[in-house]
Amino acid sequence: MSFRQDIEAAIPALRRYARSLTREAESADDLVQDTLVRALRSEHLFHGGDVRSWLYTILTNLNRNRLRSLARRPTLTSIEDDDAPDAAGPEAGGRDIERALALLVEDQRTALLLVVLEGLTYREVAEVQGVPIGTVMSRLSRARVQIKAYLDGERPALRRIK
């Protein structure tokens, strides 16, 4: 397959990953589009290997930049009916997992989504995040413990603020 065909084949996975990071279809599509533009402009910088991991790295870095930019702006949160804590029914479990994922720090959530949702190996996630494989294993372990604790009804742990 050619470079461009490899990129085209990765688009559905990039969209899925971006949507899980942003939790908004429009923001996710913008993120994927920016990733594709950057990848195609930087084709000369790609020196072989797995195109998919390279694309995840670009998308992850663009998302970090997006989050930094958003952190500088005041946030407006709408109150919706489905935010009620006593929601029941089959859809409540999905919302619980979604809320548990939202409570994770960004690096833990990213590592967990890349492994569980996208099927990347720990080594590939380490390359995408630019950290040692042991750090990925630690992030995954902490993420899983936090999600389990949240789903078991335990109070979420406090996050450190730098």
The pLDDT tens digits for 89-117 are 444 555 678 888 888 888 999 999 999 88
* 13: its two tokens: 């996975």
Residues 54, 95 share a domain: no
* 51: its two tokens: 């195109």
Which pLDDT tens digit goes with each residue over 37-85? Answer: 999 998 888 887 889 989 999 999 999 888 888 777 765 555 554 454 5
**Structural element, H or E, at residue 145:** helix 133-151
Q: Identify whether 56 is part of a domain.
A: yes
Which pLDDT tens digit goes with each residue over 11-41? Answer: 999 999 999 888 888 999 999 999 999 999 9
**pLDDT for the residue 137:** 94
**Residue 18: which of 87, 64, 50, 82 has the closest Cα?**
64
d(CA 58, CA 54): 6
Residues 158, 115 share a domain: yes
pTM: 0.64
**pLDDT for the residue 118:** 87
Residues 96, 135 share a domain: yes
**pLDDT for the residue 7:** 92
| Residue range of the domain that includes 15 | 1-74
Which pLDDT tens digit goes with each residue over 112-126? Answer: 999 988 889 999 999
Q: How many domains does the chain have?
A: 2
CATH number at residue 116: 1.10.10.10
CB count, 10 Å around CB of 110?
25
Question: Quick check: 20 and 64 in contact, CB under 8 A?
Answer: no
Q: Identify whether 84 is part of a domain.
A: no
Question: CB under 8 Å to 14, separation ≥6 — which residues?
Answer: 32, 35, 36, 55, 56, 59
Residues 99, 66 share a domain: no
**pLDDT for the residue 162:** 58
CATH number at residue 62: 1.10.1740.10
**pLDDT for the residue 159:** 58
Residue 83 DSSP symbol? G
